[in-house]
Structure 1
Amino acid sequence: MQALTWWRNPGTKDLDAIVCDGSVRAGKTVIMSLSYVLWSMTDFDAQQFGLAGKTIGSLRRNVIRPLKIMLHSRGFHVKDHRSDNMLEVSKRGKVNYYFLFGGKDEGSQDLVQGLTAAGFFFDEVALMPESFVKQATARVSVEGGKLWFNCNPAGPYHWFKLEWIDKLKEKRALRIHFTMQDNPSLSPSTIARYERLYSGVFYKRFILGLWVLADGVVYDNWAAETMTTHIDDVSGYESYYVSCDYGTRNPTVFLLWGRKDKVWYCLREFYYSGRESSNNWDDSQYVTAMGKFVGTIKASIIVDPSAASFITALRKAGYQVIAADNDVINGIREVQNAMNNGKIMFADDLKHMFAEFSSYIWDDKAADKGIDKVVKDHDHVMDALRYFVFMVIYKQRTATTAKKPVWLR
């Protein structure tokens, strides 16, 4: 109710901005986006406004789609000019224009130059570069304009934490901290399920909603006693993949995965280091090693996207190759989710895998600068693990999302 009505309550209506941060699934985006349009349609007519997400695609998926439903149910007419990335919202003779932006990198600041706006809404602002947000907030020059921010927490030295949450009085901003318990649409069993998804730093940020450092071992949820099993025979699984992290002097890793009863098992590992052996292999030798590794098993191969020559060599040898998505932080989070929920298990003899679980750590120096980053050492098996989970478990799960109704497209 605070987020919905702050712009008209006597104690807060004169503030310039609102910041809603906290846990996932707390309802921040839904209630803030509705409040933003209600405010702008109440206080303005024939004005321009901004709506920003990390990408236009994520903005349309996470904000615009549910927003259209809510506005239609309240008697607003919404015309979506998709080619211009602009929504035209009207009711009772009033009409305002909402331009959509993606703030994915430093170059995104160029997209908002020249816009004169009466307000700007930032969904998941902690994922955006400071340069984009500064440029966008500078566009709000109409009298009575306000800024709206929501996000899940990052590290305590993140630029948004330092520049906005730590300076609320200076910025004339209201902050509302959300948890999942604030979302009336979530049942206790649903909340409990989300709490099981995360561990370590992601639990503190996405469940407790805290701005905390990523420090220590990355996979602090690793438990050999519950996540390993003895595997003698790798035949008879429903389907197979191989995930691969490729190096010349650095180690090259192959992981063989098999699916049975909705669980993916890491069955075997291959590990070769040119530096340790003082004998660097070329692409053809690794292709030969791949043939010995998979034998007669038919498996698609997920490969480090930077390994262009090796991908070409594998395809020439007749393998089906998938270039991996190298999104490190989201990939790590999805690996933790898969481990916590029993979606992946490991053979009990994966020597290099288990060694890296205990040595794969967060970069303390990067954390001091507000950046989540892992130490690039003892990470080759971890990369191959991440490629598999992100491409097979996460990507396939998100690809099954139901299509939206025609009238919302």
Structure 2
Amino acid sequence: MGLNNLLTAKQQEVLHTYLKGDFKTMILTGAVRSGKTFIDNLLFLYELRRVKEQAKLEDEKHPQFILAGASSGSIYNNVIASLSNQFGIDLRPDRHNHYHLYGVDITPVYTDSIRGLAGARGFTAYGAYVNEASLANQKVFSEILSRCSKAGSHVICDTNPDNPQHWLKKDYIDNDDPDDKTVTFCFTMDDNTFLAPDYVKQKKAQTPTGMFYDREILGLWVSGDGIVYRDFDQRTMIINQEQLPDDLHIYCGVDWGFEHKGVITVWGDDDEGNIYLLHEYTAQFKFIDYWVNLAKKLQDKYGHSLTFWADSARPDNVTEFQRAGINCRNANKSKMPGIEKVAELMKTGRFFINENGIDKFLDEIYQYVWDENTGEPKKENDDVMDSMRYAIFNEHKQNKTQFINSSYF
């Protein structure tokens, strides 16, 4: 079987550069499903073989190699499970949660917070594989590089694009100092020629226009430009009361407010995957009793099992709802995944608004814009937008666990 049957042209280019060995850090960045992780997992195995031979020459009995990822779960899903599926290599953790292959101690380091520094300190590594590098804490990433001080050690990374001001882009990907010895490869989705053409066509069609498309399909490090929901089309998405389906699954989103607007939005899903904003209730300078009474009226109308996905930043208000017998849950407030979910519905024509039920929705959606400095929406004109995101993102998550630690989000 020829190499063309195993690796794409871009993956072969990466492998060729790796085998030349004239680098310290190799970063694979680009689109989703573009083949980055597959080739990095293969290079991981090459690295372990290299470390085994080097340690033998140095009479090192317990050579260590860093396997880094945002969490233990991401390391398992993206690397350990993939090694089993792709290469038939099954790794089992020891009592320290380390893995072992080819006589190399594979030491996990978790990069999603500064706590990962503790796992990265105190030893010398023969190299590192950093999965999802843009999600890493900058100090933890720097410490990983410092640990890899053995002669000939490599740090291999993969990442999806983020804001162009991200430290990984500015300090490493864009670093053209030859003494830094960093090589970078950028992947587009079209580089993965093993993907089914129908899948690629569908993925392109459902990915929201603008920043999400540029990052996920083209693999570009871009910030947002203009309004957040560029695919919202008032001409086709605003419908009247008579056009609403009769049989809908109903749920709500809650954004608490007083000085700024408080909002409860009521949503309905039909059996065909369409989502409808049925009612938007927006008010300012209202105490919690007002919102409790409104929620109870909605319960009376739609049923007492009606779920309210609420801003977890006000646990006192969530508690008041729950004491009143309202099924109120702390929403997962993950901003970018939530926005992308809403934007995907708009892009695929499955998002509709009841023109008889809205108040501030249209005012906000056309003023809800990206902040190019942060890569996230500006914290303006966002009360209805936040309520919408809490409801839609959380109701359509596979795991609808109630989040208790609101400070995390």
- Range into which the TM-score falls when normalised by the shorter chain: 0.7 to 0.9
Shift of 1:69: 2.7
CA separation of 1:112 and 1:376: change in aligned 2, threshold 3 A? same
Alpha-carbon distance in structure 2 between the residues aligned to 1:354 and 1:308 = 29
Alpha-carbon distance in structure 2 between the residues aligned to 1:323 and 1:80 = 35
Q: Counterpart of 1:296 in 2: which secondary structure?
A: helix
Considering only aligned residues, what root-mean-square deviation do their CA atoms show, in Å? 2.2
Shift of 1:131: 0.9
Q: Counterpart of 2:108 in 1: which secondary structure?
A: strand
Alpha-carbon distance in structure 1 between the residues aligned to 2:66 and 2:345 = 36
**What CA deviation, in whole Å up to 9, does each residue of 1:157-194 have, x standing for no partner?**
21111111111434212211111122133122111122
Indicate the larger mover: 350-359 or 225-234.
225-234
Quote the residue 2:270 is aligned against: 260
Alpha-carbon distance in structure 2 between the residues aligned to 1:83 and 1:265 = 50
1:179 aligns with 2:194: no
1:213 aligns with 2:220: no
Quote the residue 2:161 is aligned against: 153
1:81 aligns with 2:93: yes
Q: Is the 8 A contact 2:244 2:354 kept in 1?
A: no
Alpha-carbon distance in structure 1 between the residues aligned to 2:76 and 2:130 = 13
Quote the residue 1:380 is aligned against: 383
Quote the residue 1:57 is aligned against: 73
Q: Counterpart of 2:175 in 1: which secondary structure?
A: helix
Shift of 1:302: 0.6
Shift of 1:248: 2.4
Q: 1:70 aligns with which of 86, 92, 95?
A: 86
**What does residue range 328-407 of structure 1 map to in structure 2 within 5 Å?**
328-349=335-356, 350-364=358-372, 367=373, 371-393=374-396, 395-396=397-398
Q: 1:131 aligns with which of 131, 139, 150?
A: 139
Alpha-carbon distance in structure 2 between the residues aligned to 1:343 and 1:65 = 34
Shift of 1:290: 1.7
Alpha-carbon distance in structure 1 between the residues aligned to 2:299 and 2:367 = 28
**What does residue range 25-40 of structure 1 map to in structure 2 within 5 Å?**
25-40=33-48
1:311 aligns with 2:318: yes
1:283 aligns with 2:293: no
Shift of 1:5: 4.2
**What CA deviation, in whole Å up to 9, does each residue of 1:315-356 have, x standing for no partner?**
111121221011112221222122222343222242311211
Q: Is the 8 A contact 2:245 2:270 kept in 1?
A: no
Q: Is the 8 A contact 1:245 1:381 kept in 2?
A: yes
Alpha-carbon distance in structure 1 between the residues aligned to 2:216 and 2:94 = 32
Matched AA of 2:192:
N
Q: Counterpart of 2:360 in 1: which secondary structure?
A: helix
Q: Counterpart of 2:370 in 1: which secondary structure?
A: coil
Q: Is the 8 A contact 2:80 2:91 kept in 1?
A: no
Alpha-carbon distance in structure 2 between the residues aligned to 1:291 and 1:329 = 31
**What CA deviation, in whole Å up to 9, does each residue of 1:66-102 have, x standing for no partner?**
1233342xxx5x4421653321113xxxx11212222
Q: 1:105 aligns with which of 110, 113, 127?
A: 113
Matched AA of 2:391:
F
Alpha-carbon distance in structure 2 between the residues aligned to 1:226 and 1:53 = 43
Question: TM-score when scaled to structure 1?
Answer: 0.86
Shift of 1:62: 2.1
Matched AA of 1:54:
A
Q: Counterpart of 1:80 in 2: which secondary structure?
A: coil
Alpha-carbon distance in structure 2 between the residues aligned to 1:309 and 1:235 = 36
Alpha-carbon distance in structure 1 between the residues aligned to 2:351 and 2:240 = 14
CA separation of 1:378 and 1:21: change in aligned 2, threshold 3 A? same
**What CA deviation, in whole Å up to 9, does each residue of 1:85-138 have, x standing for no partner?**
321113xxxx11212222112332232111321111111211222111001111
Q: 2:280 aligns with which of 269, 272, 279?
A: 269
CA separation of 1:83 and 1:246: change in aligned 2, threshold 3 A? farther
Q: Is the 8 A contact 2:281 2:359 kept in 1?
A: no
Quote the residue 1:8 is aligned against: 19
Query: 5+ unaligned residues in a row in structure 1: which ranges?
Result: 275-280, 400-409
Alpha-carbon distance in structure 1 between the residues aligned to 2:153 and 2:163 = 29
Matched AA of 1:15:
F
% identity of equivalent residues = 26
Shift of 1:25: 0.8
Quote the residue 2:26 is aligned against: 18
